[in-house]
Amino acid sequence: MNISIYCTNTDVYKTYPLGITLEEIAEDQNIKIESDLLGAMVNNRCKSLDYTVVKPKTITFFGYDHPEGRRMYAKSLSFMLWVASLRCFPDHTLSIRNSVSGGYYCKLDNIDTLPINYHEILKGEMERLVLEAIPFHRHLYPIEQCSKILSKEKLYAKKRLFEEYGNLYAPLNEFNGHHNFFYNHLVPNSSHLKSFDIELYSDGFILRLPTKNNHGELEPIKNQQKLFQTIRYHKNWANNLNARNLSQLNDCKYRNWDRDLIKIAEAFHEKEIARIADKIVQSRDSIKMVLIAGPSSSGKTTFSKRLGIQLSVLGCTPKQISLDDFFVNRVETPLDEKGEYDFEAFEAIDKAFLNHQLDTLFSGEEITKHRFDFTLGERVKTLEKMKLEAHDILIIEGIHALNPQLVSDIEQKHIFKIFISALTPISLDEHNYIPSTDNRLIRRIVRDSKFRNYNASETIKRWPSVRNGEEKHIFPYQEEADIMFNSALIYELSVLKPYLVYRLQSVKEREPEYAEAKRLLNFISYFRSYNASEIPPTSILREFLGGSSFEY
């Protein structure tokens, strides 16, 4: 029996025997990918090259320059690192903690008993594995067998998670005789993983990854100590709550402790916001304004309002300004490389008008506030007036708030800078952390659907442009902050799950965004749903779910 295959790379329809693999099709059609052939989209779903085709399909082969290619590379490299650690240091447990400084922060336990050059030993072993060109395989096992395999590999968090999942069969990846699972398809074999490095970092090391645009060039090591310490602080807090991974988070639901966990997480946020307010007031004689910046869906607006309340408790009167109201008129908005409006660009902000209003305020005079009408695409006057009195403090929030060009005429000693992002404190398991970008994208899908009349496909389609803007205009300034605030709530993905699933399920298979929708659906399927009824109306999560007591 034969099946018809359409390959978009060659624009060719061709008949193949039932059961042919993607790798065989790529070889037959002489597919050449400049950045190294790693996988394929099959009917807009990511597949590894050993995938067997049994029905008519539309296939697009990709390499490292594709988002899924980069994800496959990073997950495969993580698997190879784990196997190398088992070879070199079998008595030590590897954990892959989080993304930082152009790579993954990793740690081996009992580091004091390791040789000083342990990172070089690990790197050397990984280089040997690359030369051996060992294949990565994916197998389905009965859940009982899967549990036995994971127990043998001492992957207990993953074992519990798989047992809770409730399926008869579960997938495992196999490499060099060892089994693990990285919630993703992997590259064909280890020879594709030539570009990496290992460098000591804090009390662990960084597994360095290639740059987004060049898989032969590594991301430079960046100074992100403030970010690193913030992530570590919150991961330690989650660990103290016995909720450091998804299995433990799900267990809170089984033990009917989910409501308590929501209350604890919200109290923790309130305490952190109060601590920031205390720090601002300690320097009240010199500070004129607070700048709050962060990437999309980090909860800047709700945070700024809650910070204002805490400042009021301490005797200050907060006056708030959103940079969203200082967009240039739409016809003046800069265009990106695709010729579309680039709302993430710094030039999309009317810096001159903002500074004119600030000069007026700091001179003791009154201003008329403006509001940007997103329907008209223009800035319009409101009836609201603003004037700064003796005990007032100005709070400005927006994605560009930490850009030094924004208020360059104001002395730094008069400014307190806050960076906010959703830095997920839990991990899926020992070797799979949860990217903050996924956390924020999930928030945005729910919010856009509920409040902005965008469906999931539209939000996913815009996300790469949003991410590019963040890389250019937000993250370069995050270490300039006086303090960082983590807006992620330890329970939030469990609460967002039911709001997310049906929105993602509405994405059609024919849409290019289908692959990302399926990936997020697979990811969120491991979470047990929490009820949103315990979430207070002042929670940052209410900015995305609705039911907030704040006006936006």
pLDDT digits (tens, 9 = 90+) for 143-193: 999 999 999 999 999 999 999 887 899 999 999 999 999 999 999 999 999
Residue 122 pLDDT > 90: yes
- The CA distance from 146 to 173, in Å, is 11
* pLDDT given at position 281: 95
Residue 285 pLDDT > 90: no
Read off the pLDDT band of 62 (50, 70, 90). very high
Strand ranges of the sheet holding 178-180, from the earlier edge strand across to the other edge? 136-142, 169-175, 178-180
**Residue 55, both tokens:** 């029905």
* pLDDT given at position 29: 95
Dihedral angle over CA of 474, 479, 483, 489, nearest 10? 60
* pLDDT given at position 295: 95
Read off the pLDDT band of 284 (50, 70, 90). confident
Q: What is the pLDDT of residues 378-390, one digit of tens each?
A: 889 999 999 999 8
Write the Ramachandran bin of 316: left for phi over 0, alpha for psi from -120 to 50, otherwise beta.
beta
Q: How many residues does the chain have?
A: 552
What SS3 state is found at 60? strand
321, burial (CB in 10 Å: exposed 0-12, middle 13-18, buried 19+): buried
Between vectors from CA 451 to CA 449 and to CA 454, what angle results, nearest 5°?
35
Measured on CA atoms in the order 29, 213, 458, 535, is the torsion positive or negative? positive
Listed residue (130, 129, 128) closest to 192, CA to CA: 130
* pLDDT given at position 356: 94
DSSP secondary-structure letter at 508? -
Q: How far is CA 282 from the centre of its chain?
A: 33
* pLDDT given at position 549: 95
Listed residue (459, 71, 443) closest to 294, CA to CA: 443
- The CA distance from 488 to 425, in Å, is 7
Q: How far apart are the first and last CA of the chain?
A: 60
- Residue 33's identity, in one-letter code, is I
The owner of tokens 């960076």 is 419
Cα distances (angstroms) measured from residue 265 to each of 173, 429, 488, 549 = 35, 20, 9, 19
Q: What is the pLDDT of residues 400-409, one digit of tens each?
A: 999 999 998 8
* pLDDT given at position 159: 93
Contact 238, 115 (CB under 8 A): no
Residue 107 pLDDT > 90: yes
Q: Where are the alpha helices (DSSP H) in 15-64?
A: 22-28
Contact 248, 242 (CB under 8 A): yes
Percent of the chain with pLDDT over 90: 86
Min mean pLDDT across 216-230, 236-250, 334-348, 437-451 is at: 334-348
Q: What is the pLDDT of residues 507-526, one digit of tens each?
A: 999 999 999 999 999 999 99
Listed residue (140, 148, 206) closest to 167, CA to CA: 140
Q: What is the pLDDT of residues 325-372, one digit of tens each?
A: 999 998 898 888 778 888 888 999 999 999 999 999 999 999 999 998
The per-residue pLDDT of the chain, averaged, comes to: 94
Q: Where are the domains of the chain?
A: 2-63, 68-222, 226-545
Listed residue (406, 332, 322, 333) closest to 372, CA to CA: 322
- The CA distance from 303 to 452, in Å, is 20
Residue 42 pLDDT > 90: yes
Read off the pLDDT band of 375 (50, 70, 90). confident
* pLDDT given at position 409: 83
- The CA distance from 126 to 196, in Å, is 9
- Fold adopted by 2-63: Ubiquitin-like (UB roll) (3.10.20)
* pLDDT given at position 362: 92
- 491-515 average pLDDT score: 96
Cα distances (angstroms) measured from residue 113 to each of 90, 198, 367, 514 = 13, 19, 64, 48
Which residues are 245's β-sheet partners? 427
Contact 252, 243 (CB under 8 A): yes
Residue 223 pLDDT > 90: no
- The CA distance from 45 to 385, in Å, is 53
- The CA distance from 246 to 241, in Å, is 13
Exposure of 279 in the CB half-sphere (CA atoms within 13 A): 15
What SS3 state is found at 21? strand
Listed residue (534, 434, 451) closest to 486, CA to CA: 434
* pLDDT given at position 164: 85
CATH of 68-222 given 3.30.980.10, 3.30.56.10, 3.30.43.10, 3.90.110.10:
3.30.980.10
Percent of the chain with pLDDT over 70: 100
Domain 226-545 classification at class level: alpha beta
Residue 317 pLDDT > 90: yes
Cα distances (angstroms) measured from residue 147 to each of 92, 320, 494 = 21, 54, 24
* pLDDT given at position 177: 96
- The CA distance from 523 to 492, in Å, is 14
- Give 472-505 as a DSSP string: HHTGGGGGG-SEEEE---TTHHHHHHHHHHHHHH
Min mean pLDDT across 165-169, 278-282, 311-315, 529-533 is at: 165-169
Listed residue (310, 303, 313, 306) closest to 486, CA to CA: 303
Listed residue (446, 425, 468) closest to 520, CA to CA: 446
- The CA distance from 352 to 379, in Å, is 14
- The CA distance from 269 to 487, in Å, is 8
Contact 267, 341 (CB under 8 A): no
Listed residue (72, 76, 25) closest to 51, CA to CA: 25
* pLDDT given at position 365: 94
Contact 392, 270 (CB under 8 A): no
* pLDDT given at position 551: 87
- 480-498 average pLDDT score: 97
456-473 vs 514-524: helix axis angle to the nearest 10?
A: 90
Interstrand relation of 367-373 and 317-322 (parallel, antiparallel or unpaired): unpaired
- The CA distance from 530 to 124, in Å, is 45
**Residue 183, both tokens:** 């919630």
Contact 322, 357 (CB under 8 A): no
